[in-house]
A and B are shown apart, each in its own frame.
Chain A
């Protein structure tokens, strides 16, 4: 068990290095000279020369990569060209907003998705089932910005539609961001539960005289939810990283908004920092999902 986790953690290191390399490479071939971006065209030749040297811009690519990784390991992601502040500090300020939104959306999707999925499975083919599966499909397949605009128009005046200065501000973004996850979880819960209910051990449980409710809660649910829990762990990381559109539409100053402003300003260190930060979150989410899976599924636990 401990060995499995250690192995699993060690495996992520090369993955992480590879991803940083990829991002670093892609963003470095994009045209746009940082010094020009920073200073506009007001500078003399020698000042530019000097700046390029202190920023190591003329060093070979691989050297710059290694330097970047080394700095990143110590928590230094460089300095934003546009805002002239430490990227780490910028992300640290923005991240709590993103985290709040993602956690709220995740909770929303679990609290909605799992019970709805269970009810749909139990009342298979009922009106409730069709209705909730329809709504789930809607959530999964509609573009986020479109749902966001509709909700903003519908609830204008009732709920705040932009900003992040009160908890009410998070309600609409949470629904927008969490809806598709909730739909996915509801559908997955439903189909898993239906699948599990066909198993022999469910018949065994019934043959013991357990009530239908206990058969589901004691025997079916744990089996059905194991894959759902894994998906939930992965979703948290994708919610953290996927909030870009939602944050922009609702003007929440999170990491997503930071990334969007970095793109608009051609602020490479900031963009690089946010993208790599997000990639790390996703990898960590997958890691947690794997470990969680091995903890809750006894069949994997021993191996």
Chain B
């Protein structure tokens, strides 16, 4: 299994909240593997733990967050057990991140060029002049027009799309082995989104890096990913390559997500929505976490927690009655 750039095993992450003794489990035993050179999508509704998963692996959780157990193996080393000093050598150098909000993710009082050259100077050991020259090249590469002039601009002087290009340039500066993109296009309008995705794909082809694409947009997944993990309420509920997922999705939740894609709905029909809301982190159902919202749920689903099982060809699904089976919760009750 050495052809994976990053393997997350059984990750559990919890958060403390003010005035409470117990901790909320935001990520509950997640396994994710990212093959070298491929793009892996991580999808799910807001709050299902996508960001927390990636931040846990990178050691970037906020103060009240804590990894309870698990490992994140990168090049044979467990990131979760590395001392901070060692982890910092990997961050921004071999694993980079892009975040959702390009406005708030760039420092408002530092010129964007400086923010790009910072990583070059830190990890690449370049002097100021070289780093600046290199940064301008990078900005040009990611499609920032008039890069030389833009170098001295502040984030608020750039459009959202340009800011995200700067973020990508920043993340790509040192040609990382893995790029974690946390909803890189969510804040952008559709045409800009397409441009940014195209740029990421081009850069990936050039450098051979792997990408973990975090998104709640299945359209983005279809566009750019090779395989997909679907998360629900802190757990992976389905994993497959992107064709298998769209062709024969097995989990009712995934099916709901796909059905609620606008272009998948015939004209005139109302857009599908998954009824109900995500369960509270502190009041998870005892059985399947999706049961309260599932149209196919039966007694067993409420009582017994389903495991993530291989339903053929490495297609994993956490469901007692995957879509395509007879839907009565398996084992002859009926």
Contacts and interface: CB of A to CB of B under 8 A. Distances in A.
Interface stretch (B15-23, B96-104, B229-237, B290-298): B96-104
Contact of B107 (A198, A207, A209, A223): A223
Contacts of A219: 107, 110
Given A200-B101, A203-B60, A204-B99, A209 B108 contact: no
A226 interface: yes
Interface residues of A, number: 22
24 contacts: A200-B104, A201-B104, A201-B105, A201-B108, A203-B60, A204-B97, A204-B105, A204-B106, A204-B170, A206-B91, A207-B96, A208-B91, A209-B88, A209-B89, A209-B91, A209-B92, A210-B88, A211-B88, A223-B108, A297-B109, A298-B108, A298-B109, A299-B109, A299-B154
Nearest to B180: A207
Contacts of A127: none
A29 interface: no
Interface of B: 55, 58, 60, 62, 88-93, 96-97, 99, 101, 104-110, 118-119, 122-123, 154, 156-157, 167, 170
Given A203-B105, A208-B170, 10 more contacts: A200-B99, A204-B167, A204-B170, A208-B118, A209-B122, A218-B118, A223-B109, A298-B108, A298-B154, A299-B108
Contacts of B60: 203, 206-207
B211 to A, nearest CB: 15
Contacts of B62: 198
Given A203-B60, A210-B118, A222 B91 contact: no
Q: Which of B108, B122, B157 has the most CB of A within 10 A?
A: B108
A211 B93 CA distance: 13
Contacts, number: 74
B168 to A, nearest CB: 12
A30 interface: no
A42 to B, nearest CB: 68
Contacts of A222: 109-110
Nearest to A299: B156
A205 interface: yes
Contacts of B109: 222-223, 226, 297-299
A207 B91 CA distance: 6
Interface of A: 198-201, 203-211, 218-219, 222-223, 226, 297-299, 302
B90 A209 contact: yes
**Dominant secondary structure of chain A at its interface with chain B:** helix
Nearest to A296: B109
Contacts of A298: 108-109, 154, 156
B248 to A, nearest CB: 37
Nearest to A206: B60
Contact of A302 (B89, B119, B157): B157
A203 B170 contact: no
Contacts of A211: 88
- Which are the 5 A-B pairs with shortest beta-carbon distances? A208-B92, A209-B92, A209-B91, A200-B104, A201-B107
A122 B99 CA distance: 25
Contacts of A226: 109
B121 to A, nearest CB: 10
A204 B168 CA distance: 12
Q: Which of B62, B90, B118 has the most CB of A within 10 A?
A: B118
A161 to B, nearest CB: 45
Nearest to B85: A211
Q: Which of A206, A207, A298, A302 has the most CB of B within 10 A?
A: A207
B4 to A, nearest CB: 21
A151 to B, nearest CB: 39
Nearest to A201: B107
Contacts of A206: 60, 91
A121 to B, nearest CB: 12
A298 B105 CA distance: 16
Contacts of B122: 208-210
A223 B109 CA distance: 7
A70 to B, nearest CB: 45
A297 B108 CA distance: 9
B91 A201 contact: no
A203 B90 CA distance: 15
Contact of A207 (B92, B104, B110, B157): B92
B108 A203 contact: no
A219 B91 CA distance: 17
Contacts of A299: 108-109, 154, 156
